[in-house]
């Protein structure tokens, strides 16, 4: 089996040298005549010296491609760029901040090759601030397990191994790295997990916190409701719109009956307000359906992150 290791970086200048050293040492443990390996480092528009630190590597023990995004897009976009440039059928994804421990590569590859579509790490003993990072992760993972088919403990772990062919338009939308395991599981693929180490962050800062919960919740709504309606969302929301209009019409007729047959004034019942409310709800659902369809159509024409590639550097193999 062959592997492409994809590592996105954003403002990780102080971690580059140490990370590359640790990664190479562990890749050497799994290299064999049956495996080909390559590394793709993606600098997602860092505003520090990350790209220059990557260039200082000059040579590497494995085929290595360095890619520089012109602007900062997202971690998912950086991963997507790496996948689009990869040569091999299996993808290893990990963060470059050294909180994912490269020492876990050997056992992860061994577990993956037992037979699964995706293997994700479980940071059972996290070395993060509890209130700013661990607690939001616990809440987010509980919500994900509640609303999806995934039983994974740690959906936010960046350390993953997966078959490249499971990444398609049905899983690769939005910030797909965040709920990739849940999306893959929802499409019937086999997803396993394995306990991995989690190190303290020595250099740099994390952009992780309670805002992650909101993003996860939004992703889950999309995942839940668009799994079967992704190509016909206007019909999905249009159905609610239709029933709202039907109900408003029924109440309007009943209101007229009360007025002209029983002599009940409009202002004596809440029916006029209810009719207006249902009409407004119907219009809202209709416009949501139209907007969702426009978004999905745009998503289907997915902007290729390759257009944001400013530089490609191939390191010489030493």
Tokens of 41: 């480092």
Strands 63-69 and 309-317: antiparallel
Tokens of 173: 């939308």
Render pLDDT for 178-208 as a digit per residue (tens, 0 to 9): 778 888 888 889 999 999 998 888 776 665 4
**Among 5-19, 101-115, 268-282, 304-318, which stretch is predicted with the lowest mean pLDDT?**
304-318
Give the burial class of 195: count Cβ atoms within 10 A of its Cβ; 0-12 exposed, 13-18 middle, 19 or more buried: middle
Q: Which residue would you say has higher pLDDT here, 172 or 149?
A: 149
pLDDT at 29 (0 to 100): 93
Render pLDDT for 212-240 as a digit per residue (tens, 0 to 9): 556 666 666 666 655 555 545 556 677 78
pLDDT grade, residue 45 (50/70/90)?
very high
Render pLDDT for 132-143 as a digit per residue (tens, 0 to 9): 667 777 887 787
Q: Which residue would you say has higher pLDDT here, 50 or 299?
A: 50
Q: Which residue would you say has higher pLDDT here, 141 or 114?
A: 114
């Amino acid at each position: 089996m062959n592997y492409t290791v994809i590592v996105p970086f954003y403002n990780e200048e102080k971690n580059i040298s140490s990370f590359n050293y640790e990664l190479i040492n562990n890749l050497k443990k799994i290299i064999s005549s049956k495996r080909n390996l390559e590394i793709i480092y993606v600098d997602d528009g860092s505003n520090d010296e990350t790209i220059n630190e990557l260039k200082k590597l000059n040579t590497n023990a494995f085929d290595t491609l360095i890619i520089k995004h012109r602007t900062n897009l997202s971690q998912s976009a950086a991963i997507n760029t790496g996948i689009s440039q990869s040569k091999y059928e299996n993808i290893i994804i990990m963060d470059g901040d050294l909180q994912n421990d490269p020492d876990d590569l050997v056992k992860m590859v061994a577990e993956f090759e037992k037979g699964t579509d995706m293997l994700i790490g479980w940071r059972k003993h996290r070395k993060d601030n509890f209130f700013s990072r661990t607690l939001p992760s616990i809440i987010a993972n509980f919500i994900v397990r509640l609303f999806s088919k995934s039983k994974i403990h740690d959906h936010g772990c960046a350390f993953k191994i997966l078959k490249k062919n499971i990444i398609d338009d049905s899983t690769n939308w939005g910030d797909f790295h965040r709920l990739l395991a849940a999306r893959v599981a929802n499409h019937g693929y086999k997803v396993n997990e394995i306990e991995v180490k989690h190190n303290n962050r020595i250099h740099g800062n994390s952009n992780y916190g309670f805002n992650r919960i909101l993003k996860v919740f939004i992703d889950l709504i999309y995942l839940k409701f668009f799994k079967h309606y992704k190509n016909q969302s206007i019909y999905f929301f249009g159905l609610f719109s239709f029933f709202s209009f039907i109900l408003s019409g029924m109440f309007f007729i009943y209101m007229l009956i009360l007025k002209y047959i029983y002599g009940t004034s409009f202002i004596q019942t809440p029916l006029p307000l209810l009719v207006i409310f249902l009409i407004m709800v119907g219009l809202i659902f209709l416009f949501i359906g139209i907007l969702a369809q426009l978004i999905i159509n745009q998503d289907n024409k997915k902007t290729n992150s390759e257009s944001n590639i400013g530089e490609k550097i191939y390191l010489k193999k030493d």
